[in-house]
């Protein structure tokens, strides 16, 4: 009975690792949340800005909330989920879902199957990981993308 039930359940797209996001394999693409103004003045976004630069390249993409800007760095893509207008706003679950859909489309078009993320939206942006993780599962369920969540 257990086998039958398990075989009907969909495999989770999320796996968890304790540690620093930036210790992930260099072949993994990365994603995090920012505002349309690309300020990246606080939180994990500061480290992305230091490591990958490209602020003018991101601004030039003119992405709106619900879209996703992207940089190519060596073998990986770095995704900037645009979840709000200004750095001092808070995102909604809806905008986050739309940005994740945009990232999924880019992953599928570009053969990305390994993605590492922090608990996006759930630090300074105050969303609930229970809800955000469910949204990520739903958006990526029909794909081959595996998402590793790094927890400090």
Specify the 3-state DSSP secondary structure of 83. strand
Return the residue of 14, 61, 87, 101 that touches ligand 8NA, per CB under 6 A. 87
Cβ closer to ligand 8NA: 59 or 142? 59
Residue 53 φ/ψ, nearest 5 degrees: 55, -140
Binds ligand 8NA by CB under 6 A, chosen from 15, 16, 27, 42 = 42
Do 116 and 21 contact (CB within 8 A), yes or no? yes
Per-residue DSSP letters for 55-81? Answer: HHHHHHT-PPTTEEEEEEETTEEEEEE
Q: Which of 36, 63, 84, 104 is catalytic?
A: 84
- Is 130 a catalytic site residue? no
- Active-site positions read 84, 125
Catalog residues that contact ligand 8NA under the rule CB under 6 A. Answer: 20-22, 33-35, 39-45, 87-88, 118-125, 150, 152
């Amino acid at each position: 009975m257990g086998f039958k039930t398990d075989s009907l359940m969909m495999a989770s797209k999320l796996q968890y690792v304790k540690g620093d996001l930036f210790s992930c394999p260099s072949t993994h693409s990365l994603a995090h949340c920012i505002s349309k103004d690309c300020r990246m003045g606080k939180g994990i976004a500061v480290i992305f800005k230091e490591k990958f630069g490209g602020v003018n390249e991101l601004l030039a993409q003119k992405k709106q909330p619900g879209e996703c800007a992207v940089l190519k760095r060596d073998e990986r893509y770095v995704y900037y989920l645009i979840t709000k207008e200004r750095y001092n706003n808070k995102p909604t679950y809806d905008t986050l879902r739309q940005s994740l859909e945009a990232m999924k489309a880019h992953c599928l078009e570009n053969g990305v199957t390994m993605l590492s993320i922090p608990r996006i939206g759930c630090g300074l942006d105050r969303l609930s990981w229970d809800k955000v993780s469910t949204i990520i599962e739903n958006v990526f369920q029909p794909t081959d993308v595996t998402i590793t969540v790094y927890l400090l």
